[in-house]
């Protein structure tokens, strides 16, 4: 499970409206992600448009790495930012070069149809030369930058991604490469890009088959919503996209907490998406069948007309995970706080009480590195 990153707006619970995020929000986003156990991959939630590009990347990256020790996913604006992330990874890894290459991963994209610009070509080369994992993906839009037919869009997407793979492996054979997809479609009535359409999920599942055919891991987004606010439409869209992301065979994700076709995010939405993710993960884990789970001894012990509620097996398995127990969902059938309100309460608790387990030996070196680079701008 990975978070959304690089959005221009945050949805604010108190005002019920969008606002421009900044460095403090990046820190809070990383801390919240750190507190959610299923989140494994964290992106900076934004770049600060009020700062220069270099100032922003330095401050946003520092805010992330000082608030979570989880894996960092970056989509650098340029090679300067890519180098900043690699430098920070080396500090975090205490100079262990092999470990530093697994602390971070990068993203690069194709400009559909069939274009690779200087920046993304540079990121491919940078990642290959430094052996940093890179998720390379097309983001074509069926009906706009790729054919209106889904098969035609998929063919274009596959060609673009395999071109990126070929270039990447030509630079350094065996460097880690992730087959990515952000391919979707447009609303043919309005021309708006869509990231929670059912066609997006169809294309993602097909991309998963292509990735496996090419013996590559798959990157895609999950928990996407075209809905601009945390409401019923967002819930429907996120439930579908999380489930279908699991079923697509995706290995590596981003997107949790997003709203409005990846143009916004919300702290509370990240917490809700975490619960959706847990429910779907329980579903795809299936029903385990073995002697212990078939519970023959329990069936004999309780017998005909008995009560399993007070049986020792039920008590022993209460917290085993056999039955998923939600944190936010209301299962009582009576009025109580909404999921959104409960998610807000959780966020406030994290912001007020939670302390991420950061290696304190890296704090001063990271601050010193950031300040030194700031002075050079």
Q: Which of 84, 68, 55, 60 is nearest to 7 (CA)?
A: 60
Number of domains forming the structure of the chain: 1
Average pLDDT on 135-164 reads: 96
Average pLDDT over the chain reads: 96
> In the numeric block, which tokens belong to residue 342?
């409960």
**pLDDT reported for residue 336:** 85
Average pLDDT on 231-260 reads: 96
> What whole-number distance in Å separates Cα of residue 236 and Cα of residue 227?
10
Question: Residue 45 is part of a domain; what is its CATH number?
Answer: 3.20.20.480
- Residues 46 and 22: beta-carbon distance below 8 Å: yes
**pLDDT reported for residue 76:** 95
Phi, psi angle pair for 262, to nearest 5°: 65, 20
Peptide linkage before 113 cis (omega within 30 of 0): yes
Taken in order 189, 190, 194, 196, the sign of the CA dihedral is negative
Q: Which of 199, 195, 354 is nearest to 271 (CA)?
A: 354
Q: Name which of 18-22, 94-98, 128-132, 217-221 the model is least confident about.
A: 94-98
Bridge-based pairing state of the strands 104-110 and 41-42: unpaired
Assess whether pLDDT exceeds 90 at residue 259: yes
Provide the percentage of residues in the chain whose pLDDT is more than 90.
94
Assess whether pLDDT exceeds 90 at residue 24: yes
The H-or-E segment that residue 141 falls in is strand 141-142
> In the numeric block, which tokens belong to residue 43?
């992106």
Q: Which of 211, 123, 233, 220 is nearest to 181 (CA)?
A: 220
> Is 329 a member of any domain?
no
3-state secondary structure of 231: coil
> What whole-number distance in Å separates Cα of residue 194 and Cα of residue 186?
6
Strand order in the sheet with 264-265: 17-19, 9-12, 264-265, 258-259
> Is 201 a member of any domain?
yes
**pLDDT reported for residue 53:** 93
DSSP for 299-333, please give it. HHHH-TT--STTSHHHHHTTTSSSS---SS---SS
> Is 242 a member of any domain?
yes
- The structure's pTM equals 0.95
Average pLDDT on 15-21 reads: 96
Q: Which of 35, 43, 1 is nearest to 265 (CA)?
A: 43
> What whole-number distance in Å separates Cα of residue 169 and Cα of residue 197?
33
**pLDDT reported for residue 323:** 95
98 alpha-carbon distance from chain centroid: 24
Angstrom distances, CA of residue 88 to CA of 94, 106, 108, 246? 10, 14, 19, 31
**pLDDT reported for residue 31:** 98
Provide the percentage of residues in the chain whose pLDDT is more than 70.
100
> Is 349 a member of any domain?
no
> Is 325 a member of any domain?
no
Taken in order 99, 100, 105, 111, the sign of the CA dihedral is negative
> Is 336 a member of any domain?
no
Q: Which domain holds residue 63?
A: 9-284+354-376
H helical segments located in the chain: 23-35, 53-65, 79-92, 97-103, 118-130, 150-171, 198-213, 232-248, 267-285, 291-294, 296-302, 312-316, 339-353, 363-376
Q: What is the pLDDT of residues 307-362, one digit of tens each?
A: 999 999 999 999 899 999 999 999 988 888 999 999 999 999 999 999 999 999 99
> Is 313 a member of any domain?
no
The H-or-E segment that residue 180 falls in is strand 177-181
- Residues 247 and 205: beta-carbon distance below 8 Å: yes
> Is 278 a member of any domain?
yes
> What whole-number distance in Å separates Cα of residue 158 and Cα of residue 256?
25
């Amino acid at each position: 499970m990975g978070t959304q990153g690089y959005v221009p707006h945050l949805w604010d619970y108190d005002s019920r409206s969008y606002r421009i995020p900044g460095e403090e929000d990046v820190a809070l986003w990383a801390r919240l992600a750190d507190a959610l156990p299923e989140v494994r991959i964290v992106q900076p939630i934004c770049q600060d448009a009020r700062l220069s590009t270099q100032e922003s990347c330095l401050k946003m990256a520092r805010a992330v790495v000082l608030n979570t020790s989880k894996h960092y996913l970056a989509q650098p604006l340029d090679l300067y930012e890519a180098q900043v992330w690699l430098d920070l990874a080396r500090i975090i890894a205490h100079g262990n070069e092999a470990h530093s290459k697994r602390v971070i991963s990068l993203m690069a994209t194709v400009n559909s149809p069939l274009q690779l610009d200087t920046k993304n070509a540079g990121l491919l080369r940078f990642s290959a030369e430094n052996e940093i994992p890179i998720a390379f993906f097309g983001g074509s839009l069926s009906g706009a930058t790729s054919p209106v037919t889904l098969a035609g869009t998929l063919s274009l997407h596959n060609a673009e991604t395999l071109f990126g793979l070929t270039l990447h492996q030509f630079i350094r054979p065996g460097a880690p490469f992730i087959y990515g997809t952000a391919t979707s479609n447009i609303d043919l009535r309005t021309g708006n890009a869509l990231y929670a359409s059912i066609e997006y999920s169809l294309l993602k599942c097909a991309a998963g088959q292509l990735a496996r055919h090419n013996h590559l891991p798959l990157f895609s987004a999950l928990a996407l919503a075209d809905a601009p606010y945390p409401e019923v439409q967002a819930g429907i869209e996120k439930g579908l996209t999380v489930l279908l992301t699991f079923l697509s065979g995706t290995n590596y994700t981003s997107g949790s907490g997003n709203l409005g076709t990846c143009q916004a995010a919300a702290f509370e939405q990240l917490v809700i998406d975490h619960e959706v993710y847990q429910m779907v993960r329980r579903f795809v884990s299936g029903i385990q069948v073995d002697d212990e789970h078939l519970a023959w001894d329990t069936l004999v012990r309780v017998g005909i007309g008995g009560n399993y509620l007070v049986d020792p097996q039920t008590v022993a398995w209460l917290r085993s995970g056999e039955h998923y127990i939600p944190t936010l969902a209301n299962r009582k059938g009576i009025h109580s706080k909404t999921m959104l309100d409960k998610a807000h309460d959780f966020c406030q608790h994290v912001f007020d009480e939670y302390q991420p387990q950061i290696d304190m030996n890296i704090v001063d070196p990271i601050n010193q590195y950031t300040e030194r680079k700031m002075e050079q701008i």
